[in-house]
Structure 1
Amino acid sequence: MRIGLLGTGPWAERVHAPVLAEHPAYEFAGVWGRRPEAAAALGAAHGVPGHADLDRLLAEVDAVSIALPPTVQADLAVRAAEAGCHLLLDKPVALTVPDARRVVRATGAGGLASVVFFTVRFGGEQIPWIEKQAAVGGWFTGRSDWLGSVFAPDSTSPYAASAWRREKGALWDVGPHALSVLLPVLGDAAQVTAVAGPLDTVHLVLRHTGGASSTLALSLTAPLAGGGTGLELRGEAGVVHLPERGEGPVAALHRALDALADSVRTGVPHACDAVFGLRVVEILAAAEHSLTTGTAVTL
């Protein structure tokens, strides 16, 4: 498949562009960005054209890989789907439920494949672990800590300049990662309660349809010495922990693109398609509502 890249920021430059340039199932056909000069520069670095005209790029490709903020992703994803392009989406799919639903409708109307790039769901050790725990069942409770330090005082993160992360915080940035692992194992969320912690930190309590409960601690402002991630499940099978990630996002994106190609070939939706991405947005929106009202929200 011919594939184009939408986006020119650090995530596009460090992860998407190098993977698209070397993935054997795709022909990297071009880059579009909101800054034409950046699109030209990133394209030149990988021997493909940089486009100032998005419609021209969409007309030349079969799929797009989107590495843009969620504030603009939904509109561009719908535009790409209406042009007949399969979608590799970033998380979260959108920042509102109506926008996420528009993406789902557009992919469905076109009979198009979609995959949302939840990095943990495409980890080499994480994929079989998640599948195994979902099959085991009998889980009583889960706990997920995703304590990032993007905005800590001594942070050198390339994403510290991200305007949407500063506005929406950890709930919308790292919350999707935690949910992407908990939901396939414990079942869909039936109720969510959210409580604010220090700075952008948020604590969630979920009741799952399978009968289990889970807690999430999410932050982008944790001290560098106190940050880190981890996920624990407790149940009839004992206590298990999600394997630590021993590889970076490049390998995970290769697998996400494999998944998109398989979905295009077979016509079978992937578990992390736009529909799942919509469900994650619905849960995050409910958690945000819980934060503002101080009440539990039934989903």
Structure 2
Amino acid sequence: MSPCDTSYDNPVRVGLVGAGPWARAMHARTLAAGPETRLTAVWARRQEAAAEVAADHGAAAAATFDELLDRCEAVAFAVPPAVQAELAVRAAKAGKALLLEKPLGPDLASARRVTEAIEDAGVVSQLVLTKRYHPATREFLARAARLEVTGARSCYLHGAFLGGDFATAWRLEHGALLDLGPHLLDLLDAAVGPIVSVRGTGDPRRWIELTCEHENGAVSQASLSGTVRLPKARTRIELLGPEEELVYDTGSLDHEECWPVLRAEFAAAVRAGASGPIDARRGLRLQELLDQAVAGG
């Protein structure tokens, strides 16, 4: 076994920042499940919540962020963008690999600071762009690469901001563009071709419509909302052109298939000392597109 291999006898020791619904639902249980990773510590500003998550997964509850850094070689973030942007810089400077949520920060300037800190420190980074780790998404992108696309229609819609665990303060403040936009812009950029400009219209707290112009001359549109009542979340992309239509729809996908892939690829990147394509630099590109949409193109 080479030094770059991920050994089950040498799992990546990961500390988790955050103890909210998403930290509990995905990060903690995925990282604790292994075998490529081991959850060693949890830290959150609400100490009682961190202690509860840590106890559920056999990890330590860190009293401070610095203690968390001492207990791990990689840090996973499940906190609002502004908090991630602040602490990710500190973790990178401490030499820790980073598993980051999207968006990198609440604005373009903070996303740049995170990316620069990661590059200056030379640490591994990876983004939790959930759908990118599903085999069906990878098949769709492979098929899209062989198509000539003239235009695309897409949407990411749900009602989670109407109430419940995920109607959090930062989502209610910034709306669907900052939360859902990275997913859809990432997929359109990858499937249709590099996006060169984005124009947004509407209210991201209710419904926002994006028009994207791509490097190859194609045009795509994206509808985003977190405040529409639907039986379940709807993510759909239709690629249209002189060839047969290609449709990607997550309605029948089991997102549980994403987590083992995400965990294994992160651990492999950490052990190899090299980030994959879904890294902080990718997150910065998406943040640049979000910034364009906010500015009106």
Same fold (TM over 0.5): yes
- Deviation of residue 266 (structure 1)? 3.4
User: Does residue 1:163 correspond to 2:173, yes or no?
Assistant: no
Q: Cα distance 1:175–1:21, how it changes in 2: closer, same or farther (>3 A)?
A: same
User: Within 1, Cα distance between the matches of 2:279 and 2:201?
Assistant: 29
Corresponding residue for residue 187 of structure 1: 193
Q: How does 1:258-269 map to 2 (within 5 A)?
A: 258-269=264-275
Corresponding letter in the other structure for 1:159: F
Corresponding letter in the other structure for 2:158: G
- Deviation of residue 90 (structure 1)? 0.7
Corresponding residue for residue 241 of structure 1: 247
Query: TM-score under structure 2 normalisation?
Result: 0.91
Corresponding residue for residue 37 of structure 2: 26
Query: TM-score under structure 1 normalisation?
Result: 0.90
Specify which of 132, 147, 150 is matched with residue 143 of structure 2. Answer: 132
Q: Cα distance 1:21–1:227, how it changes in 2: closer, same or farther (>3 A)?
A: closer
Q: Secondary structure at the match of 1:87?
A: strand
User: Within 1, Cα distance between the matches of 2:166 and 2:280?
Assistant: 24
Unaligned runs of 5+ in 2: 1-11
8 Å contact kept, 2:156–2:223: yes
User: Within 1, Cα distance between the matches of 2:141 and 2:133?
Assistant: 10
Q: Percent identity?
A: 37
Q: Secondary structure at the match of 2:245?
A: strand
Corresponding residue for residue 8 of structure 2: none
User: Does residue 1:223 correspond to 2:229, yes or no?
Assistant: yes
User: Within 1, Cα distance between the matches of 2:48 and 2:260?
Assistant: 27
Specify which of 259, 263, 273 is matched with residue 279 of structure 2. Answer: 273
8 Å contact kept, 2:198–2:292: yes
- Deviation of residue 263 (structure 1)? 2.1
User: Does residue 1:46 correspond to 2:57, yes or no?
Assistant: yes
User: Within 2, Cα distance between the matches of 1:198 and 1:77?
Assistant: 26
8 Å contact kept, 1:63–1:86: yes
Corresponding letter in the other structure for 2:166: Y
Q: Cα distance 1:101–1:283, how it changes in 2: closer, same or farther (>3 A)?
A: same
Q: How does 1:90-101 map to 2 (within 5 A)?
A: 90-101=101-112
Q: Secondary structure at the match of 2:275?
A: coil
User: Does residue 1:83 correspond to 2:85, yes or no?
Assistant: no
Q: Secondary structure at the match of 1:151?
A: helix
Q: Cα distance 1:100–1:198, how it changes in 2: closer, same or farther (>3 A)?
A: closer
Q: Secondary structure at the match of 2:160?
A: coil
User: Does residue 1:151 correspond to 2:161, yes or no?
Assistant: yes
User: Does residue 1:201 correspond to 2:207, yes or no?
Assistant: yes
Corresponding residue for residue 3 of structure 2: none
8 Å contact kept, 1:117–1:253: no
User: Within 2, Cα distance between the matches of 1:102 and 1:197?
Assistant: 27
Corresponding residue for residue 182 of structure 2: 176
Q: Secondary structure at the match of 2:53?
A: helix
8 Å contact kept, 1:123–1:245: no
Q: Cα distance 1:199–1:32, how it changes in 2: closer, same or farther (>3 A)?
A: closer
Unaligned runs of 5+ in 1: 291-296
Corresponding residue for residue 283 of structure 1: 289
- Deviation of residue 243 (structure 1)? 4.0
Corresponding letter in the other structure for 2:137: Q
Specify which of 112, 119, 137 is matched with residue 108 of structure 1. Answer: 119
State the number of aligned residues.
286
User: Within 2, Cα distance between the matches of 1:57 and 1:209?
Assistant: 43
8 Å contact kept, 1:95–1:281: no
Q: Cα distance 1:250–1:56, how it changes in 2: closer, same or farther (>3 A)?
A: farther
User: Within 2, Cα distance between the matches of 1:233 and 1:174?
Assistant: 19
User: Within 1, Cα distance between the matches of 2:207 and 2:77?
Assistant: 27
Corresponding letter in the other structure for 1:279: R
Specify which of 255, 260, 263 is matched with residue 257 of structure 1. Answer: 263
Aligned-CA RMSD value: 1.8
- Deviation of residue 227 (structure 1)? 6.2
User: Within 2, Cα distance between the matches of 1:95 and 1:131?
Assistant: 31
User: Within 2, Cα distance between the matches of 1:272 and 1:131?
Assistant: 16
Q: Cα distance 1:226–1:18, how it changes in 2: closer, same or farther (>3 A)?
A: closer
